[in-house]
Amino acid sequence: MKTLRRPKVRDQVASQIQQYIVEQKLGPGDRLPTEAQLAATFGISRLSLREATKSLEFLGIVESKTGVGLTVGSIDMERLTEHLSFHAGLLDADSQQLIDSRVILETGVLPHIARRMKEDSSIESRLRELVEQFRSARDLKSWIELDVRFHRSLLEASGLQPLVAFGDLLHIFFQRFRESVKKAGWKAGVESHDRIVDELAKGRVEAATAELRKHIESHKERLS
């Protein structure tokens, strides 16, 4: 039986601000009530309120300006990536689950991509360009960055923004696995990306799916 403890005021407040943003359909730049107003609304001290807003601000979700007030931001994936990459040792995720999740997510969007590729030729050019850049990568950092960019572009090409956001998050946890790729494996990665785009362009979703699955699962052996 777990100890019953008072929930932290700041956590409840952060959660309520989240709900307020969603309910009011607020977007980046929209004004929020002032710290004094929010504190009065929640019946707490302004400093406790600030603990919640500073937490949200750390991720870019809320922005504050002295003398002006609070506004809605947008979660800043770059900032998040930076903070989390700094603490790779604290990232807690099961490698097999990451691989399986990525396979489900990325193969799941392939039918959408193939359909949209027919309507919008810039999708194929974009992906092919990324493959060529990937082929030219000369250091691990660039190679990783271009690998991430390709996979993100796949998700983006689906037009499904929720999956793009989640894919970004999966990549943060996946980062350290990429760092163990040997240079000898870079070429195989490039050829995989190439084949995936080829199959998609020909409308062969099942072949693209098999190739993408193989590509993502290729990390498996190295992580055992």
Site for its own copies in 38-97 (CB under 8 A): 47, 50-52, 54-61, 72-77, 80-81, 83-94, 97
104 binds its own copies (CB under 8 A): yes
If binding means CB under 8 A, how many residues of this protein chain bind its own copies? 62
Tokens of 112: 């959408």
Q: Which stretch binds DNA (CB under 7 A): 48-56, 103-111, 117-125, 174-182?
A: 48-56
**Per-residue DSSP letters for 7-18?**
PPHHHHHHHHHH
Query: Backbone dihedral region of 73: left (phi > 0), alpha (psi from -120 to 50 degrees) or beta?
Result: beta
Please choose, out of 107-115, 133-141, 145-153, 203-211, the segment that lies near its own copies by the rule CB under 8 A. Answer: 107-115
State yes or no: residue 8 binds DNA (CB under 7 A): yes
29 φ, ψ to 5°? 95, -20
| Residue 34's binding partner out of its own copies, DNA, none, with CB under 5 to 8 Å set by partner kind | DNA
Stretch that binds DNA, among 64-72, 129-137, 184-192, 208-216 (CB under 7 A): 64-72
Cβ nearer to its own copies, comparing 77 with 140:
77
Residue 36 in contact with DNA, rule: CB under 7 A:
yes
What's the CA gap between 53 and 57, in Å, rounded?
6
List the structure tokens of 168: 């970004």
- Using CA atoms, how far apart are residues 122 and 120, in angstroms rounded to an integer? 6
Q: Does 104 bind DNA (CB under 7 A)?
A: no
The binder of 74, among DNA, its own copies, none, by C-beta within 5 to 8 A per type, is its own copies
Q: Is residue 208 within 8 Å of 196, Cβ to Cβ?
A: yes
Q: Which amino acid is at 120?
A: D
Cα(172)–Cα(170) distance, rounded to whole angstroms? 5
Q: Which is nearer to its own copies, 172 or 196 (CB)?
A: 172
Nearer to DNA, 3 or 224 (CB): 3
Q: Which of 15, 41, 45, 136 binds DNA (CB under 7 A)?
A: 45
Is the separation of the CB atoms in 116 and 158 below 8 Å? Answer: yes
**Eight-state DSSP code of residue 184:** G
First to last CA, the chain: 36
Asked if 48 is part of the footprint of DNA (rule: CB under 7 A), the reply reads: yes
CA–CA distance, 206 with 210 (Å, rounded to integer): 6
Please report how close the Cβ of residue 184 comes to its own copies at its closest, in angstroms.
Answer: 28
Tell me which residues touch DNA (CB under 7 A).
3, 5-6, 8-10, 34-36, 43-48, 50-51, 54, 64-70
